[in-house]
Chains A and B, each alone.
Chain A
Amino acid sequence: MKNFAELIKALDSSNKTSVKVDALTEYFRRASPEDKVWTIAILSHRRPPRPVNTTLLRLWANELANIPLWLFEESYHIVGDLAETIALIIPTTKEHSDKSLTEFLQEMIALKKKTDDEKREYLRTNWLALNYYERFVFTKLITGSFRIGVSQKLMTRALSKAEGVDEDLLAYKLMGDWNPDKITFQELILDEKSSDYLSKPFPFYLAYPIEGEVSALGDPEDWSIEHKWDGIRSQTIIRENEMYVWSRGEELVTDKYPEFHSFVGIIPNGTVIDGEILPFPEGQIGTFNDLQTRIGRKTVSAALLAKTPVIIKAYDLLEWEGKDIRNLPYDERRDLLEKLYETIKDSNLPIQISERVNLKSWEDVTTERMRAREMKSEGLMLKKRDSAYQVGRKKGDWWKWKIEPLVIDAVLTYAMRGSGRRANLFTDYTFALWQDNENGERELVTFAKAYSGLTDAEFRKVDDWIKKHTLERFGPVRSVTPQLVFEIGFEGIAFSKRHKSGVATRFPRILRWRHDKKIEEANSIEDIKNMISHTTE
């Protein structure tokens, strides 16, 4: 545990990628095979299930620190992280623990089935035996994931350096559904076994946003252009009469989309399709809001399936006839995909092809992009015709060119403290728009929350203002004098019964602080509802 805690501390102490990779590489060179497997699992969000709920965790930590629960909660709001708060309030003793990371994790897995008294005893003993940072890491292992700015890509790079295994191959090996408690480092990283790969997806290739002029990309004829769909990026795998669906977060989501089982037997074995899962109510593309109803569910009712069916908008083919074809030029992969689609399009399967738009000039591309809302897309994708399907986010061959967001001026009404690097600053805001109430008076109605878009300096200014203009406190949330106006941008909008305002926005974020506007000049709910009719009808 000591080494792992030191690693986390080192990763947490630097903002520089090179320093993080070096720290990880050094750790992988020294760690035991068991600890390596667990470290990979933790850094790729494969934690064992939480053995103790946070209510009990707080209670037992408070007992040890001898403080009332409300005082713990106040501290937690200010610290911004549960495990960190617990580690801070518990006294450090002269004891120490030499247990390895693997031993701790095995104990945590076993702990889940124990009685509350045993759990309490286990936590107290270990909290008191660990130093401050180990205590933080130990508690973090119980409560949640580490947000320390280590992407899977970064970890894979370090592992590749330490083990001498190719980075792309490692990315492939680490995908999918493996259990750190059951697999050895040898099996996971070093062995080559093709049968294990039955359900394994390929690492996704991700596009960069276009900065500057699109014409800088050169000859438009070198680019294949299609709309950028607003759903869930996915890979659908058909191998040996089994079907698997992976989402971009490397989550196996097969069970959430039972309609895709109809692919088996029609789409040939040895096929992997890259595409977007889109809601398709009443035979046309719905809003992301529709898809939300499907995302949260592990199992889907027949009623929901009928109300909000989904389809795949297929845009790439990664495996064909059992062969990895990612190195073929994009145009050739597309030709194969289109040929495949020809053979299945009359089978009434929930799959469509993401059409390529034939455009000769950048003017035409620009005009096409403006049709995005009409097409129910987020903008355009530009893919180099001769490009291979790469791993991760790499610049050069795939670009996304999103449409400008919808904008509205709204009033800041509530603020909450942020977490992580924004802990202790009020950075999570709630915004309101005007609406006439039953008595014909104008009042502010909440319509969206936004967390991003201001610079650190602006956040500090707003934070300072909030502290001086607090009306009421509700735990971590404060209501503030309605006085500040912000321009809020969002990608989409839909009617919603769940929200008091009657609308739900997609990706709301702060575009700028409108120092020049008074709250009377902010927009109304009616204004935003008018946007719906303009964008989706």
Chain B
Amino acid sequence: MKIPLLAFNDKGIYCHQADVYLDPWRPVTNAIITHGHADHSRWGHKNYITHHTNVPIIKHRLGDINVTGKDWNETFTINGVKFSLHPAGHIIGSAQIRVEYKGEVWVFTGDYKTEDDGISVPYEPVKCHTFITENTFGLPAFNWIPQAEVMTDINNWWAENKAEGKTSILFGYTLGKAQRLLKYLDTSNGKIFTHGAVENMTNVLRPMVDFPPTTLITRDTKKEEFTGNIVLAPPSAHGSIWIRKMTPFVTGSASGWMAFRGARRRRAIDKGFVLSDHCDWYGLLDSIKATGAEKIICTHGYSDVFSKYLREIGYDARTEHTQYEGDEGETAETDKAELEQGNVDAA
């Protein structure tokens, strides 16, 4: 039997012809990386290739690694296989990986979203024969509302809390969500304070994006300084000793999971804002259509349900099990390594 151009093995998505892995989850020699979240860019590979805007991000996260940055649409050939990176719109520097060999084209999305967030380079559909897609929010119950409306809600919420003399604490994962929120916070409401993990990552991205000023919370930050202002923190800070200093406060969380009342109540968050860096139901379906692909491989999220539906509407679709997170669990929009770092900074 012919070896497929991309195959799933115990280390990751493997291109046999080029001896290259895409987002491998165990240490390998050559890895092409879609984006900087910990489940996609892991530690221990010998050579990393990624979009050049992701280079400072993964260097910040993984330290001194051997990494090559590429431009959008720049083709690089390895043993006859043509690779190129295309915007995925998930977070800054997030790419889809296009793989072409002897006229056959595969695309691996990593994580992606169709809405232009004004920070990441917007998603572009790439024509292919086989499309490997995430399905983090692959259920018809997920239908996002436009970012501008969500940000208006968030800024109004901040203003209301301020009027009541309370501090607003807004949770969003450290790489991506925190900066997306930061970019659109209305600074006429007050000051923006940051948790250490958020501040560090934001500083890495400041050369690339214009963000409002932030104030890092330190041991010396006085209790009174918080009143009426907003704090950006990773989800792990919720319920920690660290946030007690901001009393009286109101908590909010920005995540796709906030679409479900149960998810918000379980976390005991006061206010949930539905804001995701992944595709919603129609985002996934429209993207798949736009690629023109006939074969669809679903990697992580509600993959079984989603691929079953795709088969029903005429695609050749299947699920492959990967170690990317965002299964039915709720870790998709948190980032374990970041959280640990956040906790250290917070201590």
Contact = CB atoms under 8 A, between A and B. Distances in A.
Interface string A61-74: 00001011011101
A419 B262 contact: yes
A14 B262 contact: no
Residue with the greatest number of chain A CB neighbours at <10 A, chosen from B141, B142, B266, B330? B141
Given A65-B140, A467-B328, A423 B305 contact: no
Contacts of A89: 140-141, 143
A74 B138 CA distance: 11
Contacts of B262: 79-81, 419-424
A86 B294 CA distance: 31
Given A425-B266, A456-B266, A91 B143 contact: yes
Range, interface on chain A: 20 to 34
Range, interface on chain B: 20 to 34
A464 interface: yes
B260 A71 contact: no
Nearest to B305: A74
Contacts of A14: 270
Contact of B312 (A13, A15, A68, A425): A68
A420 B266 CA distance: 9
B7 to A, nearest CB: 23
A361 B209 CA distance: 75
Interface in B107-163: 139-143, 145
A259 interface: no
A94 to B, nearest CB: 13
A123 B71 CA distance: 52
Nearest to A463: B329
A74 B270 contact: no
A15 B302 CA distance: 30
B259 interface: yes
A84 interface: yes
B265 A88 contact: no
Interface string B239-271: 000000000000000000001111101101011
B263 A75 contact: no
Contacts of B268: 15
A12 interface: yes
B316 interface: no
Contacts of A271: none
B327 interface: yes
A307 to B, nearest CB: 42
Contacts of A419: 262
Nearest to A84: B261
Interface string B11-39: 00000000000000000000000000000
Contacts of B142: 88
A85 interface: yes
Contact of B140 (A75, A80, A456): A75
Contacts of A232: none
B72 interface: no
Nearest to B268: A15
B309 interface: yes
A75 B266 contact: no
A78 interface: yes
Given A13-B270, A75-B140, A89-B140, A421 B265 contact: yes
Contacts of B312: 68
Interface in A42-99: 65, 67-68, 70-72, 74-75, 78-81, 84-85, 88-89, 91-92
Contacts of B309: 67-68, 71
B140 A84 contact: no
A424 B140 contact: no
A78 B261 contact: no
Contacts of A85: 141
A52 B142 CA distance: 25
A467 B141 contact: no
Contacts of B305: 71, 74
A139 B39 CA distance: 39
Interface string B280-307: 0000000000000000000000100100
Nearest to B274: A132
A88 B263 CA distance: 14
A88 B140 CA distance: 8
A75 B302 CA distance: 10
A301 B259 CA distance: 49
Contacts of B143: 88-89, 91-92
B280 to A, nearest CB: 11
Contacts of A91: 143
A67 B306 CA distance: 12
A464 B329 CA distance: 7
A79 B260 contact: yes
A136 to B, nearest CB: 8
A67 B310 CA distance: 12
A322 B12 CA distance: 80
Interface string B307-338: 01100100000000000000111100000000
A13 to B, nearest CB: 6
Nearest to B329: A464
B139 A422 contact: no
Contact of A75 (B139, B145, B271): B139
A425 B327 CA distance: 12
Contacts of B265: 12, 15, 420-421
A530 B327 CA distance: 44
Contacts of B328: 78, 424, 467
Contacts of A79: 141, 260, 262
A469 to B, nearest CB: 14
A75 B260 contact: no
Contacts of A88: 140-143, 259
Interface in A80-130: 80-81, 84-85, 88-89, 91-92
Nearest to B309: A71
B266 A67 contact: no
A89 B261 CA distance: 14
A423 B308 CA distance: 23
A11 to B, nearest CB: 11
Residue with the greatest number of chain A CB neighbours at <10 A, chosen from B145, B260, B263, B302? B260
B329 A12 contact: no
Contacts of B271: 13
A496 B145 CA distance: 53
Contact of B141 (A78, A92, A421): A78
A15 B263 CA distance: 14
Top 6 A-B pairs ranked by shortest CB distance? A423-B262, A421-B265, A88-B141, A421-B266, A75-B141, A89-B140
Given A67-B140, A421-B262, 8 more contacts: A15-B270, A68-B312, A72-B140, A74-B302, A89-B140, A423-B260, A424-B262, A425-B266
Interface of B: 139-143, 145, 259-263, 265-266, 268, 270-272, 302, 305, 308-309, 312, 327-330
25 contacts: A12-B265, A15-B265, A70-B308, A72-B140, A75-B139, A78-B139, A78-B302, A78-B328, A80-B262, A81-B261, A84-B260, A84-B261, A85-B141, A88-B140, A88-B141, A91-B143, A419-B262, A421-B266, A422-B266, A423-B261, A423-B263, A424-B260, A425-B266, A456-B266, A467-B327
